[in-house]
A and B are shown apart, each in its own frame.
Chain A
Amino acid sequence: MFKFFLVKLAQLVPTFIGVTIVAFAFIRLLPGDPILLMAGERGISAERYAELKAQMGFDRSLVAQYFDFLKGLLHGDLGNSLVTHSPVMDEFMSRFPATLELSLFALAFAVIIGLPAGVLAAVKRGKTLDHTVMGVSLTGYSMPIFWWGLLLIMLFSSTLGWTPVSGRISFLYFIDSVTGFMTIDSLIAGDWGAFLSALHHLVLPAIVLGTIPLAVIARQTRSSMLEVLGEDYVRTARAKGLSNFRVIMVHTLRNALISVVTVIGLQVGLLLAGAILTETIFSWPGIGKWMIDAISRRDYPSVQGGLVLIAFIVMIVNLLVDIAYGVINPRIRH
């Protein structure tokens, strides 16, 4: 198992190097540059431009800049933001918990609803319930996030007034940040009202962000359940006189989960990508919103650092998924 882990880890190194190159190149390929953007409409003299460029290190060759970036990275230093001048790492870390909290709730929403829905659809294959689940999930899957988010805001926030439109918590509460998770911090502070307010703010964005993963998980669960239901060992389980519930929840679901877990792992990357849009719609103060701002200001260090960190997180999650896969699938473990 440990060896399995090391091999997986080693496989990540080339991927990670690729990611640094893409992150470095991406922002520089966009037209416009940070100095001109900062100067704004008034423009800037050629001397001042050259001076600033040298100050920021952009006068050096791209290769040299890339290796500077890589060298910093190895020391855990992603440079400073061109806009705020504070370290990119700090900026990222202060916002990441908000994104993580949103993503975890979205994923939980997707799994808690998607998994049972997929199981039910498979068990009731061909019946109305199956068609309903598959129809709804196809709709969910094809829903553009932006449009879906606005639709929900219009319905639940504007028309019904049930949920807040934006932010993480009401202005009435001020909670010390311990974990960075508003829900947990409010509980630590023992402030029940703040906790409810945080949940209240989370509901809509989590639903919006979780919709596509929910659809994917439901469909994957259904199809792998159907596949496993046809296996000989499920017939054996029936031949043992076990209850239907046990045959399905233990013998079938257990095997079907092997492929579902992989798909859930793949959702994490999509989730972080979706978070960028969702955070923009709901003014959620996470890394998604921060990245959008950084891109529009051509804040090179923030964008390349942010991208590398996000990629790093996705890779770690995939590694954890591989390990989980080994744990639930004895054929890999042994």
Chain B
Amino acid sequence: MALLDIEGLSVRFQTSSGLFAAVEGVNINVDRGEVWSIVGESGSGKSVSMLATMGLLPWTAQVTADKMAFDGQDLQQLSSRQRRRIVGGEMSMIFQEPMSSLNPCFTVGTQIDEMIKQHLGGSRKERHERALDLLAQVGIPDPARRIKAYPHQLSGGMSQRVMIAMAISCNPRLLIADEPTTALDVTIQAQILELLLRLQEDTGMALILITHDMGVVAETAKHVVVQYAGRQVEKQDVKSLFANPRHPYTEALLSALPERAGDQDRLPTIPGVVPGQHDRPTGCLFNPRCRYATEHCREVEPVAAPDDPARTLCHYPLEDGISPSPAAAGVARDNPQSSPHREVRP
């Protein structure tokens, strides 16, 4: 039984111009101790799908799923009280903006203590000891002093470390990290990732890492979900994904990696942006940016083939880096540089 088992997750927001399907048909099944990654550009619904799992979306969100279970418990059936026992305790989350994610009115110690008290209990002294331990564990120098600090006295990297300490304080079995390094300096980014992976290994918790950086995926995850405009377009283990991307979007993300661009002068980028609420195309949502798009793609929305383990959301999934799309021949002729990449990174 998977630790987190989600099938057909959809989230719709009530907006002034009607319902907006921010997430549709996302599946993820994380086993104990696994490291997963959700990857996609900004606006592809990565945060929204994980916030839905945690039950943290605002009231304008309508969440539906064919299945949404944590450790065999159906999250949709639980009372909010029962769900709160899981959220924070067994399944916790850290966010993109560490500086604004800590409450400015309370000290670091108070905020960690509150979490421990809620899920583990224990005497004031025990909780204090535990908080000090946690701060040391996440690499905060001089925990005895930092525990009394207010959030505005901490740097971004320190704040994220505090968030991590808080998130692991109750020995969760699953940690969701939503772009934990995006807001940080480049030098700090690597440290925080390293810390997360080390903690994952030490504690054996499962980790879902949200990112838009394929490089991070290669270094961290075992399994990858690729999302585009709220849809899950492909799901594979990391080796096959890098060796054999099935969806043209994944292929494009991979060719944007510096290592893969070879000795080209400029990094290839994907032209255009993820469509938002008001500019979603008909047919395949990726078609305006897809180099294999055909008339069929522009008219008919693709569905995943039932026998495709990657559940690729495409009319013409790539096979060994080659698209069976009639448009593919033209692409190869026009642009010899963009021939499929076969090198395996991880």
Contacts and interface: CB of A to CB of B under 8 A. Distances in A.
A233 B118 contact: no
B240 interface: no
A238 B55 CA distance: 9
A334 interface: yes
Contacts of B92: 239-240
B291 interface: no
B224 interface: no
B101 A235 contact: yes
A38 to B, nearest CB: 59
A328 B103 CA distance: 13
Contacts of A230: 58
Contacts of A243: 84
A331 B150 contact: yes
B216 interface: no
Nearest to B96: A232
Interface of A is mostly: helix
A225 to B, nearest CB: 14
A236 interface: yes
A237 interface: yes
Interface string B104-124: 111000000011001100000
B103 A251 contact: yes
Given A330-B152, A334-B150, A237 B105 contact: no
Contacts of B58: 230
Contacts of B153: 334
A241 interface: yes
Interface string B73-108: 000000010001111110011010100111111100
Contacts of B93: 239
Contact of A255 (B55, B80, B105): B105
A187 B134 CA distance: 54
A254 interface: yes
B190 interface: no
A251 B100 CA distance: 13
B88 A331 contact: no
Contact of B88 (A240, A244, A330, A334): A240
B105 A242 contact: no
A41 interface: no
A254 B105 contact: yes
B102 A233 contact: yes
Contacts of B56: 235, 238-239
Contacts of B51: 235
Interface in A320-334: 328-331, 334
B101 A236 contact: yes
B278 to A, nearest CB: 22
A47 interface: no
Contact of B100 (A232, A241, A329): A232
A160 B115 CA distance: 54
B150 A330 contact: yes
Contact of B95 (A236, A241, A251, A329): A236
B166 A240 contact: yes
Contacts of B89: 241
A238 B118 CA distance: 12
Contacts of A231: 100
B54 interface: yes
A240 B104 contact: no
A239 B167 CA distance: 9
A226 to B, nearest CB: 11
A329 B105 contact: yes
A330 B149 CA distance: 10
Interface in B26-72: 51, 54-56, 58
Interface string B215-240: 00000000000000000000000000
Interface in A298-334: 328-331, 334
B344 to A, nearest CB: 36
A332 to B, nearest CB: 10
Interface string B137-159: 00000000000001011000000
B284 to A, nearest CB: 33
Contacts of B103: 233, 236-237, 251, 254-255
Contacts of B163: 236
Residue among B88, B103, B104 with the highest chain A CB neighbour number at 10 A: B103
Contacts of A329: 104-105
A230 B57 CA distance: 11
11 contacts: A233-B102, A235-B51, A236-B95, A236-B102, A236-B163, A240-B114, A240-B118, A244-B80, A254-B103, A255-B103, A329-B104
For the complex of A and B, the 6 pairs showing the least CB-CB separation, nearest first, are: A241-B88, A232-B100, A233-B103, A241-B84, A240-B88, A330-B150
